[in-house]
Structure 1
Amino acid sequence: GSDGSGPNSDSQGSVESLRKHLRADAFTQQQLEALDRVFERPSYPDVFPT
């Protein structure tokens, strides 16, 4: 139900709503740096062991 959740239903724009909540401000500089390092890695041996 649209109980003040917004004009769009939960199924519609769910990703957009999450992105709005997960703003860059919510992350600290240390977290951002850690994420950058993780994404910079070309491979993920811990996730995909050979």
Structure 2
Amino acid sequence: MALLSVIRRWHFRKGMPIREITRRTGLSRNTVRKYLASGVVEPRYPKRNSPS
């Protein structure tokens, strides 16, 4: 699960407060704040084409 992406989406797009995010994820408020402040986005890896 792309937890970092979910946290950023909830906070920035839906306007969800940090406390609500902590209730839903079980993470501490400090951890959620760190994720939001980092600005790092989880890398997207290209799909591998398997030989047929």
TM-score by length of 2: 0.27
The structure whose Rg is larger is 1
Structure ranking higher in helix proportion: 2
TM-score by length of 1: 0.28
Higher relative contact order (CA 8 A, sep 6+): 2
